[in-house]
């Protein structure tokens, strides 16, 4: 049986050079980065090197990069601290955000009694930016907008430039979950007036359990986790040194090879869409994931022309055939509930058909995609 991994939006295969770098770090650099002796100073120097590497590529200051355990912690930290420390009285988000944002906003609204507003979405899952403008202008409360750059289920790309402009015009803060974006798209934080963003290494072929937050200088945020002076006093706790080393290596590799890997993966996506349409007449693509210019090149979310009975067996069948894919966010895989993203943009009739997210990386091949298409074609007539 062939094994095909098409779930890179959930997590990616770790690059071999990242594993080697982390193994070396674990074996040779074991001092506590907070210790003042040479063992500790060596570890600390590696951490600061990683911080500078990220800052240089994103065109921001090293002091604006805070290492976290991943995107979920970073999202929680930023949103909670903004409400607690900056006097945010209104949170504006959408109903198709990752639950790290959506659930945090809902809890903050209940806990602090602040307003929570949702931007209207069109049928493709794009935020209505005219409605966003109205929400920003509806009163004089301090506002924070949280909209993800790349949707993790349908791949839609946010119009960052317009959202940044609207937030600036209305003196609102802007946070973006960029977990599906960092490592796949270029950024220039000097010219992009975003206040906060988040990233996770395991989305760009690095280790799990490490990510970072960008917090613009002089933001006014105070620590959420206290008990030590690590991360310039912003996040207490001994740093996961080996993970930070792995993050730097994977981050470097992602940006050094981005142009060639993007071209290759875009070719995979184009081939997959074209041949799926031929093999399964009636197939549809959710959101804008079937559009090569308006969605990320790393995934498609396909709504397959199968009846309800077949839909129940589809993922099980794919797994039996050695194919890893997803019905949505990996964080929802243990839930019997459908995708909150698709529920927000599809009709009840459309939701009856199975939707599968296929997400790619440079480790995939045309031959693998052809195998997946053949399996789906055979399943359709079985």
Q: How many CB atoms are closer than 10 A to CB 354? A: 19
Give the separation between CA 142 and CA 170, rounded to whole angstroms: 10
Side-chain half-sphere exposure of 369, counting CA atoms within 13 A: 24
Rounded Cα distance between 353 and 309, Å, is 10
Q: Is the dihedral of CA 78, 183, 44, 15 positive or negative?
A: positive
Which of these is catalytic: 105, 164, 167, 331? 331
331 is catalytic: yes
Residues known to be catalytic: 331
């Amino acid at each position: 049986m062939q094994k095909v991994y098409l779930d890179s939006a959930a997590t990616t295969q770790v690059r071999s050079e990242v594993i080697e770098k982390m193994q070396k770090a674990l074996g040779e650099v074991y001092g506590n980065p907070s210790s003042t002796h040479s063992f500790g100073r060596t570890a600390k120097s590696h951490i600061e090197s990683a911080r500078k590497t990220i800052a240089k590529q994103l065109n921001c200051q090293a002091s604006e990069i805070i290492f976290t355990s991943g995107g979920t912690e970073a999202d929680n930290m930023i949103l909670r601290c903004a409400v607690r420390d900056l006097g945010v009285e209104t949170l504006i988000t959408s109903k198709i955000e990752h639950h790290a944002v959506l659930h945090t906003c809902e809890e903050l609204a209940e806990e602090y009694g602040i307003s929570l507003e949702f931007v209207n979405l069109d049928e493709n899952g794009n935020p209505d930016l005219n409605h966003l403008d109205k929400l920003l202008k509806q009163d004089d409360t301090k506002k924070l907008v949280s909209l993800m750059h790349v949707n993790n289920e349908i791949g839609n790309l946010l119009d960052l430039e317009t959202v940044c402009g609207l937030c600036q015009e209305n003196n609102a803060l802007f946070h973006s979950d960029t977990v599906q974006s960092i490592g796949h798209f270029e950024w220039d934080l000097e010219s992009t007036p975003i206040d906060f963003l988040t990233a996770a290494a395991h989305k760009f072929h690095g280790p799990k359990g490490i990510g970072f937050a960008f917090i613009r200088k002089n933001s006014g945020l105070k620590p959420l986790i206290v008990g030590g002076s690590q991360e310039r006093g912003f996040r207490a706790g001994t740093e996961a040194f080996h993970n930070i080393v792995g993050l730097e290596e994977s981050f470097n590799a992602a940006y050094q090879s981005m142009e060639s890997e993007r071209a290759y993966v875009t070719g995979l996506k184009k081939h997959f869409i074209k041949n799926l349409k031929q093999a399964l007449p009636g197939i549809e693509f959710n959101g804008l994931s079937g559009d090569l210019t308006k969605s990320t090149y790393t995934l498609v979310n396909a709504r397959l022309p199968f009846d309800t009975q077949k839909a129940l067996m589809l993922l099980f069948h794919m797994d039996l055939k050695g194919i890893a894919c997803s019905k949505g966010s990996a964080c929802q895989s243990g839930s019997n509930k459908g995708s909150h993203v698709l529920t927000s943009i599809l009709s009840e009739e459309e939701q009856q058909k199975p939707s599968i997210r296929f997400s790619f990386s440079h480790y995939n091949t045309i031959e693998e995609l052809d195998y997946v298409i053949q399996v789906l074609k055979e399943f359709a007539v079985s």
